[in-house]
């Protein structure tokens, strides 16, 4: 018997599960389409960016987000697992990992990027985070405290990045466009508008 490829195994498994009434291929099609649409209402970096932009603009929302993140994020999309928000400051920079598998705030940000799930990231970012962040183009000042958080339990983490300078008075939608996915994991910063004229 020749080895089946993953694609062949997946097709066979779906066929067999469908035959016994355990999956509906059309529902699978719909779930994939919805996930790939990356709309701002579905868990995705776009949704996370909306939350961050609002936290930057609205100090009452920011306080609620930090002190009661589950209830606050439930206002956007129901969160199935606990989630906490780690606030970057001028003194402290947070970065998230799951060394044991791939735990990620998917209820808010959607599926994690491949690099987050890679053996390279999982093994190295707890040991040598500054070197790893430099690979992402993020150079941190040596005086900036770096905190790596390993998502070992069911609680997931969102990094609330620092608001870029010279964005006073910006509308939430404009601010959201500066929020990158990596800045919400800690491997990047939001886009600096001064560098993009």
Partner 1 sequence: MDGVHDLGGMHGFGPVPIEVDEPLFHEPWEGRVWAMWSAIGATTIDRFRFTIEQMPPARYLASSYYERWLWAIERLAAEQGLLTTRDRPCLLGRGGSGRATPYESATP
Partner 2 sequence: MPAWEGRFGPGDSVRVRNAITNGHTRVPRYLRRHIGRVERVACVWSNPGDSAASGTYGQPELVYTVAFNGGDLFGPGADHTVSADLSETDLENP
**Residue 148 beta carbon to partner 2: minimum distance, rounded to whole angstroms:** 5
Question: Which of partner 1, partner 2, none does residue 173 bind (CB under 5 to 8 Å by kind)?
Answer: none
List the one residue from 24, 128, 171, 173 that touches partner 2 (CB under 8 A): 128
Could you say which of 29, 82, 111, 120 contacts partner 2 (CB under 8 A)?
82
CA 118 vs CA 44, 47, 97, 189, 193: distances in Å: 20, 24, 10, 21, 31
Q: 23: number of CA atoms within 13 Å, CB side?
A: 16
Hey, is 37 helix, strand or coil?
coil
Distance from C-alpha of 130 to C-alpha of 137, rounded to nearest angstrom: 10
Tell the smallest beta-carbon distance from residue 139 to partner 1 (Å).
15
- The residue among 9 and 147 lying less far from partner 2, judged by its C-beta, is 147
Distance CA 39, CA 171 (A): 19
> What H or E segment, with its residue span, contains residue 84?
strand 83-87
Q: Is position 106 annotated as part of the catalytic site?
A: no
Q: Identify the residue whose tokens are 């939430």.
A: 172
Q: Which of 117, 140, 118, 144 is nearest to 187 (CA)?
A: 140
The angle that helices 6-19 and 25-36 make with each other, rounded to 10 degrees, is 130
Of the residues 39, 41, 74, 152, which one makes contact with partner 2 according to CB under 8 A: 152
With contacts defined by CB under 8 A, how many residues of the chain interact with partner 2?
21
Span from 28-36, 105-113, 122-130, 163-171 in contact with partner 2 (CB under 8 A)? 122-130
Considering 101, 118, 123, 145, which one is annotated as catalytic? Answer: 101
* Phi and psi angles of residue 34, each rounded to the nearest 5 degrees, phi first: -65, -45
Would you call 102 a catalytic residue per the annotation? yes
Q: Reply yes or no on whether 103 is catalytic.
A: yes
Give the interface with partner 2 as residue ranges (CB under 8 A). Answer: 82, 84, 99-100, 126-130, 142, 145-155
Give the interface with partner 1 as residue ranges (CB under 8 A). Answer: 1, 3-4, 6-7, 9-14, 16-17, 20, 22-23, 27-28, 31-32, 35-36, 38, 99-102, 110-111, 113-115, 117-124, 126-127, 132, 135-136, 150, 154
> What are the catalytic residues?
98, 101-103
């Amino acid at each position: 018997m020749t080895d089946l490829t993953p694609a062949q195994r997946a097709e066979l498994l779906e066929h067999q599960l469908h035959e016994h009434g355990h999956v509906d291929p059309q529902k699978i099609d719909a779930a994939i389409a919805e996930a790939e649409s990356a709309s701002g209402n579905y868990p995705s970096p776009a949704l996370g960016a909306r939350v961050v932009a609002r936290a930057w603009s609205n100090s009452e929302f920011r306080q609620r987000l930090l002190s009661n993140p589950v209830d606050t994020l439930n206002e956007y999309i129901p969160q199935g697992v606990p989630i906490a928000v780690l606030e970057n400051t001028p003194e402290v920079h947070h970065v998230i990992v799951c060394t044991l598998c791939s735990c990620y705030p998917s209820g808010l940000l959607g599926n994690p990027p491949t690099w987050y799930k890679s053996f390279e990231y999982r093994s190295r970012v707890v040991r040598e985070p500054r070197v790893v962040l430099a690979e992402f183009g993020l150079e941190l000042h040596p005086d900036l405290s770096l905190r790596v958080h390993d998502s070992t339990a069911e609680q997931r983490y969102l990094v609330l990045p620092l608001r870029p300078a010279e964005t006073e008075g910006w509308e939430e939608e404009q601010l959201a466009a500066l929020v990158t996915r990596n800045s919400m994991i800690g491997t990047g910063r939001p886009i600096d508008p001064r560098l993009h004229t």
